Chain A
Amino acid sequence: MALPAIEVEGVSKRYSLGSGALNVSLVDRLGDLARVPRRVISGRRAVPQIAVDSHAHEDEEFWALRDVSMRVERGEVLGLIGANGAGKSTLLKLIARITRPDTGTITLNGRVGTLLEVGTGFHPELTGRENAFLSGTILGMRRQEVADNFDEIVDFSGIGEFIDTPVKHYSSGMYVRLAFAVAAFLNPEILAVDEVLAVGDAEFQRRCLGRMQDVVNEGRTIVFVSHNLSAVQRLCPRSAWIHHGRLMAHGPTAEIISKYLRETGPQQYGGSAVLSESVARSGSGPARLSRISLIGGDGEPTDHLALGEPLRIELIFDSPTPLEDAVVELTISSAEGFRIVNAQSVDEYGTTLKLKRGPNEVTVELDLTLLPGEYNLEVALQTLGGLTVDMVERALRFSALNITYQGVQPYLWEEVRGSVRARSTWSMPGSAGMSAKPSFLQN
């Protein structure tokens, strides 16, 4: 019985550039003509993005997936990783049967359940109870199955007596909890999941992950798409990396993620990096991160930091228009892809920034000590309103080395546990204080 749960063989999927449709109505085409002059006048820059400014190439095709083959064994939890637009969501949609491949075959052994969003099929006018039945059935359960699990669904959601209230009166938290509770009782042999875990509070997320673990223990197969490498790492023993529609690697997650981080994009290792338009980035534009530099203690760009060395990052944003209420966010992730440190210009003592037309230099100093290891810098430019203007997930890589900087203690052990050293004070009752340095370091 070595039938795989999913067998993908030579699968390709093609989209037309432009409207996304293979054919567009005459009216649409007239509409396109009317839009051209405006675009010229506004002087909007051509951004190499799909389905935005590509009306001029309407007949051109775009291969979202190209000749992908892989096997997912029964009981396997597979993470699909890759940059935005790499094709991982397309692959998930093919497995979920939402869309069909143009070539190749996908063989599914078992019922497939799909979780691409929270609350699929929810209608605001219906009560929680009605929505639980509707959504559960849309996701592939029988009405009887929802009825059998109904008490547990209500328990899991914590909705209580509000179950007979229309969901339009729910808080967004309640809505998400109910939606997830329904999904948690899906019982297909194969589950296709897309980032939906990114919602809900931490406690609820933990329960959802726990529930997903149960599903795995029951021997079911999960395919999980996420940008969140930490989540992939936690959930998926194995991963596949998709890049420009092709399967680059498929294997144990730790291996795949470090390969992915090492090999993708023009990401530069340390120093000062110029980030062209073609860098893997997302966001509405038009302001762009054009340069990032890691500055060491001596004020020069560097690719490594000593233990305790001050960490300064200089960013240059090019903006063709002024931008009010900008929020710059810097995230440091470990080599394994865990996001470990986050700093934003609106944190505690910070403020929103005003970008002027042209290049804007933004400098940030972080007060922290990174333990030895490899790290990645992620930069996001957002507005206070929540719009992501530009986001570069892998802007710069650098290492923290186990060499001391101006008398800071070195890291003593071979195995590094954790990523960030906390500033700590130690004491013992009845003692005058502890020795500042281990005896073997005292000179």
Chain B
Amino acid sequence: MEAANAKPDEAAQTRVITAATGFELPSARDLWNSRDLIYLLMRRDVAIRYKQTVIGAAWAILQPLLFALVFSLFFGRYARIPSGADVPYPVFALSGMVMWLYISTSLQRISESTVGNSQLITKVYFPRAIIPLSASAQPLVDFVVAFSIVIPVTLLYGVTPSPRILLLPALLLLAWLVVIGAGLWFSALNVRYRDITFLVPFMILVGLFMAPIVYPFDLVPSAFQPIYALNPAVGILETYRWLLFTGASGPGLLLLSPVIAAPVLLVSGAWYFQRAERDFADVI
């Protein structure tokens, strides 16, 4: 049996475990060394997401589509909520819903990820930050699938997408940084305080009405707009529609909130996560 698989550099490694002290961030080297595990956990989450469903990944398309339908009917048609971005209301609602579902499911999955993997945490060591990191992948796959319906529907309503759409990956990176930063906080807090399990779905429900998803930003009274714009999702959604539709106005200062929130949440979240991680196995 030939299984001489320990790399010489790893064979020589020495590790000293002590009581935890001081300021620490998750070690980038440890995370890089665990890239295989991150990849396989991501693949697991993607693989099991639609197992034992009849229509499978079509759910990723169906959910925003049905949401958009309901809102188009009740908000767009009956309540006469105006559309924004110079596109028909169904296009406006569908595009907003696809992005909102990405942000909200990411936040929820990442927040639940540590407790959901408690079996692993109590039985084997690996850098714990792998868990929220790998949980962030599956919603992104859902987004790509769901987004594939946005363009045809847009064209169907006679709207030509803007060439700015090519910048979408950069915006997604920004959105990912914001949700992973917030998710690091929530996933670490959730280990000790299961209150997070209730808080996050509540935030998501409220967030649906506290961001320009099914109504345009202009509808918010101008006096209230600065506070409203503190929610990073607002800047992300406004930028997103500007990238998608030629007639949409630029996000301007609204982009400030996510751009500042991303590094602040990421660094503070990573710091808190690393601090809390020490006790995960004892507390979870």
Contact = CB atoms under 8 A, between A and B. Distances in A.
Contact of B10 (A104, A111, A120): A111
Interface in A197-244: 214
A426 to B, nearest CB: 45
Contacts of B44: 123, 126, 130, 134
Pairs A-B, 5 closest by C-beta atoms: A97-B125, A143-B36, A145-B5, A106-B17, A99-B281
Nearest to A11: B17
Contacts of B195: 25, 27
A20 interface: yes
A27 to B, nearest CB: 7
Contacts of B5: 141-142, 145, 148-149, 187
17 contacts: A20-B283, A22-B279, A27-B195, A98-B122, A104-B18, A112-B15, A114-B124, A120-B120, A125-B48, A125-B52, A126-B47, A130-B43, A140-B124, A142-B5, A142-B36, A143-B39, A148-B3
B125 A114 contact: yes
B40 to A, nearest CB: 5
Interface string A143-166: 101001100100000000000000
A189 B12 CA distance: 10
Contact of A149 (B3, B6, B37): B3
B47 A130 contact: yes
Contacts, number: 133
A347 interface: no
Nearest to A220: B6
Given A143-B40, A148-B5, A120 B48 contact: no
B19 A103 contact: yes
Contacts of A121: 119-120, 124
Interface string B119-134: 1111111100000000
Given A22-B279, A25-B195, A101 B40 contact: no
Contacts of B19: 100-104
B166 interface: no
A375 B15 CA distance: 43
A100 B36 contact: no
A96 to B, nearest CB: 6
Interface of B: 1, 3-6, 10-11, 13-20, 36-37, 39-41, 43-44, 47-48, 51-52, 119-126, 192-195, 278-279, 281-283
A15 interface: yes
Contacts of A109: 13-14
Nearest to A156: B1
Contact of B13 (A15, A93, A110): A110
Interface of A: 3, 15, 20-23, 25, 27, 93-94, 96-112, 114, 116-117, 120-121, 123, 125-126, 130, 133-134, 137-143, 145, 148-149, 152, 185, 187-189, 214
Contact of B11 (A98, A111, A214): A111
A112 B125 contact: yes
Contact of A101 (B17, B47, B121): B17
Contacts of B6: 111, 187-189
A125 B1 contact: no
Contacts of B10: 111
A112 B125 CA distance: 9
B193 A25 contact: yes
Nearest to B41: A134
Contacts of A140: 124, 126
Contacts of B125: 96-98, 112, 114
Given A22-B279, A120-B123, A142-B5, A106 B13 contact: no
Contacts of A22: 279, 282-283
A340 B48 CA distance: 46
Contacts of A133: 40
A116 B37 CA distance: 19
B274 to A, nearest CB: 12
Nearest to B49: A125
A108 B15 contact: yes
Nearest to A101: B19
Given A99-B281, A104-B18, A126-B48, A137 B123 contact: no
Contacts of A99: 278-279, 281-282
A288 to B, nearest CB: 30
Nearest to A113: B124
B17 to A, nearest CB: 4
Centre residue among B4, B5, B11, B44 by max chain A CB count within 10 A: B5
B48 to A, nearest CB: 5
Nearest to A143: B36
B18 A101 contact: yes
B15 to A, nearest CB: 5
B47 A25 contact: no
Contacts of A20: 282-283
Contact of A116 (B36, B47, B123): B123
Centre residue among B16, B44, B125, B194 by max chain A CB count within 10 A: B125
Contacts of A114: 123-125
Contacts of B37: 137-138
Centre residue among A93, A98, A189 by max chain B CB count within 10 A: A98
Contacts of B20: 100
A107 B3 contact: no
A135 to B, nearest CB: 9
A285 B194 CA distance: 30
A98 B13 CA distance: 18
B273 to A, nearest CB: 15
Contacts of A102: 19
Contacts of B279: 22, 99
Given A110-B11, A111-B11, A123-B44, A96 B18 contact: no
B7 to A, nearest CB: 8
A189 B281 CA distance: 23
B169 to A, nearest CB: 27
